[in-house]
Amino acid sequence: MNAKFVSLAIVTGVLGLAVGWFAASRDPHDHGAAPAAMGAPAAAKTVYQCPMHPWIKSEKTGAKCTICGMDLVAAGNAGAGDNPPGVVALSPSTITVIGVKTEPAAKRPLERTLRVAGMVDDDDTRHRILTAYVPGRVEQLHVNFVGAEVRAGQPLLTIYSPALLQAQREFLQIVQGGESTAPALAPARERLRGLGLTAGQIDALIARGEPEQSTTLFSPVTGTVIVRGAYPGQSVAAGDKLFEIADFSTMWFQFEAYEQDLPWIKVGQRVDVTTRALPGRVFAAKISFIDPNFNEMTRVTRVRVELPNPLVGEGDTARRELPHRVFGEGLVRVEAPAVLTVPRTAVLNAGNGSVVYVDLGDHRYEQRPIKSGRLGDDYLEVLDGVAEGDAVVTQGNLLIDAQAQLSHEASAHGGHAPLAAPMVPADVAPTAASMPAMPPATVPMEKLTALINASSEGAAALAGDDFAAYGKTFPALQAASREVKLPDLVLGADLKAARRSFEVWSTAVADLVRPHREHLGVKIYQCPMAPVLKKGRWVQKDGPLKNPFFGSSMLTCGVELK
């Protein structure tokens, strides 16, 4: 008895779906229908559609959208057959509801603000490491803490070295030898210089006539002590690091620039640098160097900005304003000469290029492929596709494109193929929220079955990274899509292109099948990292989960939807 009730319910549901599909898909302007009166033409009927979901239509006045609940408005001349390819016509009420706004393409300076991040480091050309010239024992430290500011010629430490003491005695013997030892005087003097004595210390040795038991070492540069490697009483060998000194009077702010940033960056350009270590302080400086060598892995190069770093305070409390190795942020403001531009919000990404919609007047909008140039903060340089003064749609273009996609009225110029998926702004990554919702159409059960069979086979081929197998299933996918409101599906030239088109199409199929998945015995899976929609869905007849959007690289990525 229970089985009979279940069977009756399924049959009733199928009949309901079929009747609903027939009513929804029936063309009110079908010229093959019988006229109302013999010999008289059928009266034209007004068709109403949703401004936000133009595929929802009705012939009833006062009807509401089944998705968003908005009142349906007269379609007017939308979808008129006399419009050339690539032109979309909308009714005045639809234009008002979706809030279409336009702005003329114009020549203007292209402004760009690059926000960069990097590290504030010391000037590498003024960085010094002081090592022991001779073995010995540290007797006294004159600078005994890291961060101390030292001047060139300032005493750093006193060292006792038997080797240096012996070298001084030998030098004095040569000096006291007079003319007989004069030829050896210059080499002996250079030897003492090589052992760490300054010219002044050598002159004092000659005047004194006897060696010093302990020798003082002086700082060769002015800077800040960043490493101290010696302590009183410590024995050191020749080559041991004693001090590391950096010149913090000029700092290097170094950041990474990508290839697309290089047209905007030039040596001598101003950069405003800030750091959280000094809130409210802005260091204005210029770019001094752009490394011509790119990192082959990350495709970035290093850019250097030299920042003046004044000394704050006096005496032992003196310190540099900019700390060493702090994180910094920079703003590079660039203004290029006037070029033909359109607002960035007017540009949509068609997958194989960028397009805009141009207002032709009389509530008609033409899709124009464009060749884009540099990307500014608010405007995009246009190299080809529009002329100065053309009014491009800056608001409502996504909904205009949705009408074009779903009514198949918009195809690009010059034999451009119909778009594979609804478009999104060119400078924004596609997300599920940015894609127009697909219609929850009422589809006969036999058509759902055909869609399931074709979709699952296509998904299996893509999950197996088999482009050839997917190509064999592609005709079945197209055949199953006929007479069903689904995104256009293109094969593409490779797996990546095929997967991007299949993702949008498959998601629409999964949404149609999902309410009936239990009766049909299929599984609906969703990938939270899908390349186009971010939440792409697909149909499988059985498990386990096999992700068609990534294949073997992330085969098990996804969850089953209940």
Question: What's the pLDDT at 64?
Answer: 83
Local structure of 441: helix, strand or coil: coil
CATH superfamily of 101-123+247-418: Efflux pump adaptor protein, beta barrel domain (2.40.30.170)
Output the average pLDDT for the chain: 81
pLDDT of res. 54: 64
Give Cβ neighbours of residue 178 (< 8 Å, ≥ 6 apart): none
Q: Is the pTM of this model over 0.75?
A: no
* Mean pLDDT in residue range 103-110: 95
pLDDT of 287 over the 50 cut: yes
How confident is residue 425, by pLDDT bands cut at 50, 70 and 90?
very low
State yes or no: pLDDT of 388 exceeds 90. Answer: yes
| Model confidence band, residue 480 (pLDDT cutoffs 50, 70, 90) | confident
List Cβ neighbours of 140 (8 Å cut-off, separation of 6 or more).
Answer: 157, 158, 214, 232
Give CA torsion, residues 282, 311, 146, 281, to 10 deg.
-10
Choose the weakest-confidence range: 23-32, 143-152, 442-451. 23-32
Q: Which H/E stretch holds residue 128?
A: strand 128-131
Report percent pLDDT > 90 for the chain.
46
Look at residue 444 in the predicted model and tell me its pLDDT.
66
Please tell me the predicted confidence (pLDDT) of residue 43.
Answer: 52
Q: Which of 108, 115, 102, 101 is nearest to 378 (CA)?
A: 108
Q: What is the bridge-based pairing of β-strands 155-160 and 223-228?
A: unpaired
pLDDT range class, residue 317, cuts 50, 70, 90: confident
pLDDT of 482 higher than 90 = no
Is residue 132 a contact partner of residue 238, using CB atoms and an 8 Å limit? yes
* DSSP string over 199-229: HHHHHHHHHH-S--SSEEEE-SS-EEEEEE-
Looking at the predicted structure, is the pLDDT value of residue 391 above 90? Answer: yes
Quick one: pLDDT at residue 87?
86
**For the chain, what are the domain ranges?**
101-123+247-418, 128-246, 445-561
> What average pLDDT does this structure show over 530-547?
88
pLDDT at 481: 80
Task: Give pLDDT, residue 116.
Answer: 92
Give per-residue burial for 190-201: e unless 16+ CB within 10 Å, then b: eebeebbbeeeb
Token pair 């190299």 is at which residue? Answer: 383
pLDDT in tens, 154-198: 999 999 999 999 999 999 999 988 777 888 889 999 999 999 999
Q: Using CA atoms, how far apart are residues 215 and 204, in angstroms rounded to an integer?
A: 12
Give the C-alpha separation, 98 to 402, whole Å.
12
Backbone phi, psi, residue 288, to 5°:
-105, -20
CATH T-level fold of 128-246: OB fold (Dihydrolipoamide Acetyltransferase, E2P) (2.40.50)
The identity of residue 16, as a single letter, is G
Residue of 532, 537, 485, 466 whose CA lies nearest to 506? 537
CB 236 within 8 A of CB 285: no
Q: How far apart are CA 549 and CA 22, in angstroms?
A: 33
Q: Whose CA is closest to 125, among 6, 252, 266?
A: 252
Percent of the chain having pLDDT more than 70?
A: 81
Angle at CA of residue 238, ends 236 and 239, nearest 5°: 100
More confidently predicted of 394 and 553: 394
- Averaged pLDDT, 66-71: 72
**More confident site: 147 or 51:** 147
97 has pLDDT over 90: no
Lowest mean pLDDT among 40-54, 89-103, 128-142: 40-54
Sorted by sequence, the CB contacts under 8 Å of residue 501 that are 6+ apart come out as: 351, 420, 421, 488, 489, 490, 491, 492
Q: Is the pLDDT of residue 383 over 50?
A: yes
Pairwise CA distance, residues 549 & 504, whole Å: 10
The answer to whether the beta carbons of residues 367 and 355 sit under 8 Å apart is yes
Give the pLDDT confidence score for residue 369 in this predicted structure: 93
Looking at residue 49, its pLDDT comes to 75
